[in-house]
A = this chain, B = another copy of it.
Amino acid sequence: MNYPNGKKRAAYQSKQTRSLQPEFSNRGMSLEEDINQTNEAYLAAGKAVIHKKPTPVQIVKVDYPKRSAAVIKEAYFRQASTTDYNGVYKGTYVDFEAKETKNKTSFPLSNIHEHQIEHMKQVMQQNGLCFMIVRFSTLGETFFLHAEKLFSIWDRQTKGGRKSIPYEVFKEEGILIPFRYHARVDYLSVLDDYHL
């Protein structure tokens, strides 16, 4: 299944341009870069094994040039059916989605897809630990929001509620994730206080 063009282009660019040219986010690094660095640090320290899933791609045409690597000549972006990150921490399955917004006052729910919420609910039913990491880039603040809170907001929205999560909700119901040099989005420290 493909995104509508505009959406896909946006989705792709937001991912790519970030990893190429840092945005005006916390410490000038993108959330994805910060989380990847953090996960590498966790892995190196034997703290957790958490990886970002590859971008799902529908491969249509592949060339096999002689004496060189196979080249994918035609492929399309597929919409992710799950979240971006998962792994294991102290035996517990950890699963989360990470998003950043330049918006200063709220996080638009258009950043999340119905099937991702569906996946998160399935994970919670299996007693996995599921949450979102949301960065307000312009404010330089990164929040942990437990999936249960996300669900209640999401369900209200589907019943005609507002289409975004106000910054205040993150302040009050989320947890500010500390920045640390060795783990720039130290979300496990939050899980420790919060959960495990």
* Chain A residues at the B interface, C-beta cutoff of 8 Å: 2-3, 5, 8-9, 12, 16, 43, 46, 48-49, 51, 53-57, 59, 62, 64-65, 67-78, 81-82, 86-95, 119, 122-123, 125-128
Contact = CB atoms under 8 A, between A and B. Distances in A.
Contact of A86 (B64, B70, B86, B126): B86
B55 A122 contact: no
Contact of A12 (B48, B62, B68, B126): B62
Contacts of A78: 54
Contacts of A123: 49, 88
- Copies of the protein in its oligomer: 2
B57 A88 contact: no
Contact of A126 (B2, B49, B53): B49
Contacts of A122: 43, 46, 49
A64 B127 contact: no
A74 B76 contact: no
26 contacts: A2-B69, A5-B68, A5-B70, A8-B69, A8-B70, A16-B59, A16-B62, A46-B122, A46-B125, A49-B119, A49-B123, A49-B126, A49-B128, A51-B81, A51-B82, A53-B54, A54-B57, A57-B59, A57-B72, A57-B75, A71-B75, A72-B75, A86-B86, A88-B126, A91-B126, A91-B128
Nearest to A91: B127
Contacts of A54: 53-57, 78
A196 to B, nearest CB: 11
Given A49-B122, A56-B54, A128 B75 contact: no
B72 A77 contact: yes
Contacts of A43: 122
Nearest to A51: B82
